[in-house]
Amino acid sequence: MPNPKSKAQETCTLTLPVRQGTVGPAVLDISKLYSEHGYFTYDPGYAVTASCESAITYIDGEKGILLYRGYPIEQLAEKSTFLEVAYLILNGELPTQSELDRFSDAIWHHTLINESLLRFFNGFHHDAHPMAMLTGVVGSLSAFYPDTQDFRDPTRQTLFSQRIIAKLPTIAAAAYKHSVGHPFVYPRNELGYANNLLHMLFALPTEEYTVNPVAAQALDLLFILHADHEQNASTSTVRLAGSSGTNPYAAITAGIGCLWGPAHGGANEAVINMLTEIQDVKNIPRYVARAKDKDDPFRLMGFGHRVYKNYDPRAKIIRSMTYKVLENLGHRPDPLLDLAMKLEEIALRDDYFIERKLYPNVDFYSGIIYRALGIPTSMFTVMFAIARSVGWVAHWCEMVNDPEQRLGRPRQLYIGPGRRDYVERSQRSGKS
């Protein structure tokens, strides 16, 4: 029974310490709020709550700015590679050539997965969702690497990070191969990160398969754009799960589970499903009207973002890449792309979307590129997970090395019944 008192408008005035980061809004330090003033704070969805200090990624949602370790996403997208960005996110600085070579070698060293783990896939039904397989198999890594329980050892942290980044593509490709009933293709380290993944996805033992360099470049770019995004839902999940001291592979698995949801990483799959359902430009007004109707749960997938109240800078990069990729891969214009462009145009002119600052997010266009690369819709969020694994491990490492971090344990505003005595079953009146 909701307690009407929870809506009561009381105010109180408190003096609280303010902490300032390098850039961005300052925060009120409320860590002593309860012990000194007897209050908790109430912030559903943690919309204005900073749960930690972090030096990895900075977002200015109003201006549409995204920086990894201070470097603008536009510059990294243009000049860098996914593995270099992974090094940057993990270590804080761009690598020299020899540092990058050593890092890449370490990743190649871990691309294989234990053969027993590979056999797990036979236990899944052929139509199991690849995200379900990814969750199961990555979670099982904790059974293969129980030693990582000693998570304060920096060597083990590095080993854990490298294993996750190296093995996720192998596990993802195995999930795909299982779903289409094809034999598993082993990693080929000399190919490079994105190239090797495309090879594992699409090569067959019956014929030569050469990866299209434009496809590999496009995938590498998408991975750069998705590599980290500060305290997003899945990264916060990894931190929260990891804060209990659980095996880090289990913490990553929690993040994968969170990413799967359509409000987060599952949006790329949901966008394609939505565009397929809309089918034709003439149907757009009907779907836009549905998105605006409070009684209809339908939302325009790929629109809106908790932090960006401006065009998502990643969406801008992907948008301009999309035509180039389609052209270079020799695809005829994808009708879904035309539909997406028209939908964007209509929504951006609509007062509902303007007032709420709802712009296309990174996932509005990423699915169209994935489609052009031949990646099935159900694998889109898996691709996202591969890229985001870099952010997850970087945040997990930052968390375990942060002396201020404690077990993550939010409080609540209780609105249930107060204390009451047990009623004998024979004397209960029932609800109605």
Stretch that binds ligand ACO, among 15-23, 119-127, 355-363, 408-416 (CB under 6 A): 355-363
**Tokens standing for 290?**
């549905």
Question: Which residues are CB-neighbours of 120 under 8 A, at least 6 positions away?
Answer: 136, 137, 140
Stretch that binds ligand ACO, among 94-102, 145-153, 174-182, 293-301 (CB under 6 A): 293-301
Residue appearing with tokens 């030693």: 147
CB of 396 within 8 A of CB of 249?
Answer: no
Nearest-approach distance from CB 71 to ligand ACO, in angstroms? 20
Nearest-approach distance from CB 24 to ligand ACO, in angstroms? 18
Residues 176, 130: Cα–Cα separation, whole Å: 7
User: Residue 59 or 185: which CB sits closer to ligand ACO?
Assistant: 59
Binding of ligand ACO by 305 (CB under 6 A)? yes
Closest-CA residue to 311 (of 383, 255, 375, 360): 360
Question: Which residues are CB-neighbours of 28 under 8 A, at least 6 positions away?
Answer: 16, 17, 18, 19
Question: Which residues are CB-neighbours of 76 under 8 A, at least 6 positions away?
Answer: 68, 85, 88, 224
Catalytic annotation, pick one of 220, 228, 312, 363: 363
Nearest-approach distance from CB 266 to ligand ACO, in angstroms? 8
CB of 302 within 8 A of CB of 364?
Answer: yes
Residues 206, 203: Cα–Cα separation, whole Å: 9
Nearest-approach distance from CB 97 to ligand ACO, in angstroms? 32
Nearest-approach distance from CB 34 to ligand ACO, in angstroms? 26
Binding of ligand ACO by 263 (CB under 6 A)? yes
Among 66, 172, 278, 301, binds ligand ACO (CB under 6 A): 301
CB of 294 within 8 A of CB of 274?
Answer: no
Among 156, 182, 188, 299, binds ligand ACO (CB under 6 A): 299
Binding of ligand ACO by 358 (CB under 6 A)? yes
Element (H, E) at 307: none
Closest-CA residue to 292 (of 206, 370, 350): 350
CB of 68 within 8 A of CB of 75?
Answer: no
Nearest-approach distance from CB 370 to ligand ACO, in angstroms? 14
Binding of ligand ACO by 337 (CB under 6 A)? no
Residues 286, 276: Cα–Cα separation, whole Å: 14
Region label for 69, one of left (φ > 0), alpha (ψ between -120 and 50) or beta (otherwise):
left
Residues 429, 432: Cα–Cα separation, whole Å: 8
Q: Is 229 a catalytic residue?
A: no
Stretch that binds ligand ACO, among 66-74, 103-111, 176-184, 358-366 (CB under 6 A): 358-366
Instruction: Convert residues 216-255 into a mask of x (bound to ligand ACO by CB under 6 A) and - (unbound).
Output: ----------------------------------------
User: Residue 252 or 271: which CB sits closer to ligand ACO?
Assistant: 271
Residue nearest to ligand ACO as judged by C-beta position:
304
Nearest-approach distance from CB 43 to ligand ACO, in angstroms? 12
Q: Is 305 a catalytic residue?
A: yes
Site size toward ligand ACO, by CB under 6 A = 19
Residue appearing with tokens 């007062």: 351
Residues 273, 278: Cα–Cα separation, whole Å: 9
User: Residue 166 or 218: which CB sits closer to ligand ACO?
Assistant: 218
Binding of ligand ACO by 304 (CB under 6 A)? yes
Binding of ligand ACO by 148 (CB under 6 A)? no
Binding of ligand ACO by 291 (CB under 6 A)? yes
Task: List the interface residues with ligand ACO, window 26-85 (CB under 6 A).
Answer: 45
Residues 156, 134: Cα–Cα separation, whole Å: 23
φ, ψ at 122 (rounded to 5°)? -60, -20
**Tokens standing for 267?**
């949006």
Catalytic annotation, pick one of 228, 305, 350, 395: 305
Binding of ligand ACO by 197 (CB under 6 A)? no
Binding of ligand ACO by 319 (CB under 6 A)? no
Q: Which residues bind ligand ACO (CB under 6 A)?
A: 45, 263-265, 267, 291, 299-306, 356, 358, 361-363
> Which active-site residues does the annotation give?
305, 363
